Copies of this chain bind each other. A is one copy, B any other.
Amino acid sequence: MTENAETAETALTDMANQFLEATIPVVYNGMGLRFADVRPGIAAAEVPFDGNANHLGTMYAGVLFTVAEVLGGAMAFSFDLSRFLPVVKDMQIRYRRPATSKVRSVTSLTPERIAELQSIAEETGKAEFVLTAELTDESGEVVATTEGTYQLRAIGS
């Protein structure tokens, strides 16, 4: 990886965090949620344990949902935002085990799939796609998984 590529990738993660702080302060300030890695086709976020626990000493279910839900917003940067906008339609979270540490979420789309979705949206005005995310605790154990359905809309359609 060249130095320029590294800088460009950090820049996208920074931009996603600035966007998050400006648009959903309740998530950025209230939960302390941050994007950890945002690149074309990849999005990862992290949320701290402190301040987000419930009375059972485990991370609150709504925080786990949120650290996965925001990935959809970060994945928007994978599309040509001058022509398309992704919109969330539904989302399901499966709770696997209690989380007692910070949690990291990650999702991805291949470059081929992104190109295909943009092509469909360009032709028909919209393209539906599914993002699956895995949430892991500090030791790497899966604490939850999510599946969200999104619609990529051609702007002006």
- Measured CB to CB, the residues of A under 8 A from B are 19, 22-27, 29-31, 51-52, 54-55, 60-63, 65-66, 69-70, 88-95
The number of times this chain is found in the oligomer is 2
Q: How far is the CA of A92 from the CA of B68 in the complex (A)?
A: 13
Complex CA distance for A7 and B65, rounded to whole angstroms: 35
Q: In whole angstroms, how far apart are the Cα atoms of A95 and B149 in the complex?
A: 10
Residues of B within 8 A of A60 (CB): 24, 26-27
Q: Give the nearest-CB partner of A51 in chain B.
A: B26
A91 to chain B, nearest CB (A): 6
Residues of B within 8 A of A52 (CB): 26
Q: A62-B62, A62-B65, A65-B66 in contact; A54/B24 too (CB < 8 A)?
A: yes
Given contacts A30-B30, A66-B66, 17 further A-B contacts (CB under 8 A): A19-B55, A26-B30, A26-B31, A26-B60, A29-B30, A61-B69, A61-B88, A62-B62, A62-B70, A65-B65, A65-B69, A65-B91, A89-B94, A90-B92, A90-B93, A90-B94, A90-B95
